[in-house]
Structure 1
Amino acid sequence: MFISPPFIFEIDLYREVLLFGDGGQSGKVGLWRVWVRFYFCSSGVSIFYVGREFWDERVQVCWEGGGTPLERGILRLASLFYALGLEARKETYRLGLKEASRLPAPVVSVGNITLGGTGKTPMVAWLAEGFRDRGLKVAIVSRGYGRKDEGRTLVVSRGRGPLVSPRQGGDEPLMLAKKLSGVMVVVAARRVEGARLAVEELGAELVLLDDGFQHWALNRDLDLVLVSGEEGLGNGRLFPAGPLREPLRALKRAHFLVVTKRENPSLRRLLASEAPQAEIFEAPMEGEKLWSPLGGELLPLGKLKGAKVGAFAGIADPCSFFALLEGYGAEVVEKVTFPDHHFYRRGDLEVLRGLIPRVDLVVTTEKDWVRLEGLDLGFSPWVLKVVIRPSPRLLDRVLERLGMEV
């Protein structure tokens, strides 16, 4: 590894918010992070990249059974306070101190019980397409993580493409708006307000609530909970001592459990024992094609076999993306990660340009392309399009449980 000038140094201080309430100031766990980036680039000779949140590595080590006794103790103590916050939040609704809203249209939530990527966005897109094709007017309601003004309720799409930019609406809602003709997309910090707007002003007959399993302010008719077949439930501990957003007993609220990414029989048995009331389905995820958004070309996935690939991603689970490329035979010689929902800057693009002489293909995700589109890249990335393939029976069962067999 060589280090060559010129170099760029940037510091970005931001607050990442983990939600377990209705989007108001209560019900948030705010974590300040420092994102320090050093870039050392030269034209086609070398690249050295360091960009890690200062605490993530040690936390991950503890989740995997390592770390010092002090580190593990601190995380477990913090998880107790987190658990108290969760329970206090639930009690405010159970005791009637706060009242959950109910809409005149059915609400279906797609959520998870763990941190990290489980495939919620592809699943939301799959369900929305299925409902739309059955003749229903569907609206997706999302918080719109990473957008510029997260407190604002905004119509991203009325079913005919995006009406706002990614910074205004968020990368995932914009991606859904681009993909889903005939499906409305709304973002709102208080999802109740967004869902009400979708039903009362846009005429939605069914609301899909993105990441709504921990959202107590809005009653749902059905809860679908996704669990990654790759990561499973981690060490089974509550955040921050582990990846669980709630204790496992919360799965008893779920109507459907969906094991995503790949089959995992042992995980399926565990879920069945923890939530015997839930119907369990599998939804493998796979690549569909390589797409060059700047050139318009399409390549079959067979082109990845034996190719030297530089891959980059700013998503919740970049390792799954890299593994998917390797599964199609790519030699991923450069892996560059950014925070989830990260908007790319000048220094980031310098790093990515430095990959070009060393690889055959530079590949990223659809979600990342939403944030890259319109920038002066100086290179042409390939986008790996990924699809989720649940059993069609899942859509039938959801409609049956809703009493909407259409």
Structure 2
Amino acid sequence: MSILRYLAAPLAPLYGMVIARRNRRFDLEPSRAARAGLPVVSLGNLSTGGTGKTPVTLFLAEGLLAAGIEVAVLSRGHGGRRREDPMRVDPDSDPAQSGDEPALMAGALGEGRVFVGRSRASAAALARATRPDLAALLLDDGFQHRALHRDLDLLLLDGQRLWGNGLMLPLGDLREPMENAKRADALIVTRASRVKDRTAVEAWWREHGSGGPIFWIGFHLARLRPVDPPDAEAIPLPEKEALPAYAWCGLGNPDAFFADLRGAGVTLREAACFGDHKGPSPDELEAMDAEAVHVGAGRFICTEKDAVKLTDDHLAALTLPLYTAEQRVDGGEALLAFVKDRLAALHADA
């Protein structure tokens, strides 16, 4: 246990009481949850970040749009400092206002597809006013946000970390007790290839979950896309030749990102993490650049959501080229079909 968790340990019972009281209110009064007027599909975690919600949300959004199902994404916009709330996020929106993950999703999905707000109900209302053709909403990181009713609750579990030590914050990584997994309609195990014992996960789901289906999916890094200079050639992955690099990220689960890079043939000469939704300042990046040159890294690699936050001052601090690692979902076809079927059933019952 880290020293910070040890010092915060006396707060654990209080945190547990607050979470239990909040959940009890919604359990006893389901009508407290606002309704969006459209089917809502929620994706979220029991634990703190790092399960891969963003690529899974994008995968579902892109798959539904390709099937002719008009969807938009609702997000808290963590880390954004907005002048207006709720806010529509477009590809040219400022990530400093919207937050990094909404900016990334807007860049992939296009205009009028991502909406952020402290109240996701208000964000949903803005989405419907902006796009009257919407057929469904995807609620990003919504498992704990019970103030908005959802019609399908998808729970993500990281296949490498699973449920950690099984303890709630601040002693562990769980946001709420494991038995609350019963609220989920289905379990999505990400990075499934790293699960050592699938039967243990299945037993955990039988004990704590709802009995809904389990979907086993993975991620792969498709290529390194140039950020600076933008006209450099992309590097397909996996790379068979030696590819020394300095990688950095602002993720809740940085070890998974670094492991993915190594698995794709990248030799990490240095690696740095700045905490979830955080990143280096231009001065820090300048110092990292000098270190990268010293160790012969040859290039920088960051995640897609880190790249959207970079300013001209950041790029001016670099002498080495910068790439972003494009992550894609493997084995998500059954999950997409499940969501499409549930949405079709909801519309048929409407």
State whether TM-score is above 0.5.
yes
1:86–1:396 distance in 2 versus 1, CA, 3 Å: same
2-side partners of 1:341 and 1:400: how far apart? 34
Query: Helix, strand or coil for the counterpart of 1:101?
Result: coil
**1:171 pairs with 100, 103, 109, which one?**
100
1:141–1:167 distance in 2 versus 1, CA, 3 Å: same
1-side partners of 2:17 and 2:305: how far apart? 34
Q: Please, which moves more after superposition, 344-353 or 130-139?
A: 344-353
2-side partners of 1:279 and 1:109: how far apart? 15
1:127-166 matches, cutoff 5 A: 127-149=60-82, 152-157=85-90, 162-166=91-95
Match of 1:48 in 2: none
Match of 1:213 in 2: 143
1:87–1:273 distance in 2 versus 1, CA, 3 Å: closer
Match of 2:205 in 1: 271
| TM-score normalised by L of structure 2 | 0.88
Structure 1 spans left out of the alignment, 5+ residues? 1-55, 63-70
Q: Please, which moves more after superposition, 163-172 or 279-288?
A: 163-172
2-side partners of 1:123 and 1:280: how far apart? 15
Deviation at 1:346, TM superposition (A): 2.6
Deviation at 1:324, TM superposition (A): 1.1
1:114-263 matches, cutoff 5 A: 114-149=47-82, 152-157=85-90, 162-181=91-110, 184-203=113-132, 204-263=134-193
Contact 1:259 1:283 in 2 (8 A): yes
1:378–1:163 distance in 2 versus 1, CA, 3 Å: closer
Structure 2 spans left out of the alignment, 5+ residues? none
Q: Please, which moves more after superposition, 254-263 or 194-203?
A: 194-203
The question of 1:371 aligning with 2:309 is answered: yes
The question of 1:393 aligning with 2:334 is answered: yes
**1:317 pairs with 229, 253, 275, which one?**
253
Q: Please, which moves more after superposition, 247-256 or 347-356?
A: 347-356
Cα deviation per residue 1:249-300 (whole Å; 9 max; x = unaligned)?
A: 1111101100002332132432233215221001101110111122341112
Query: Helix, strand or coil for the counterpart of 2:32?
Result: coil
Larger proportion of helix: 2
Match of 2:289 in 1: 353
Match of 2:46 in 1: 113
1:150–1:254 distance in 2 versus 1, CA, 3 Å: farther
The two structures, once aligned, show a CA RMSD in angstroms of 2.3
Match of 1:58 in 2: 3
Deviation at 1:248, TM superposition (A): 0.8
Larger proportion of strand: 1
Match of 2:322 in 1: 381
What is the total number of aligned residue pairs between the two structures? 335
Of structures 1 and 2, the larger Rg is shown by: 1
Contact 1:144 1:150 in 2 (8 A): no
Match of 2:266 in 1: 330
2-side partners of 1:270 and 1:168: how far apart? 39
The question of 1:340 aligning with 2:276 is answered: yes
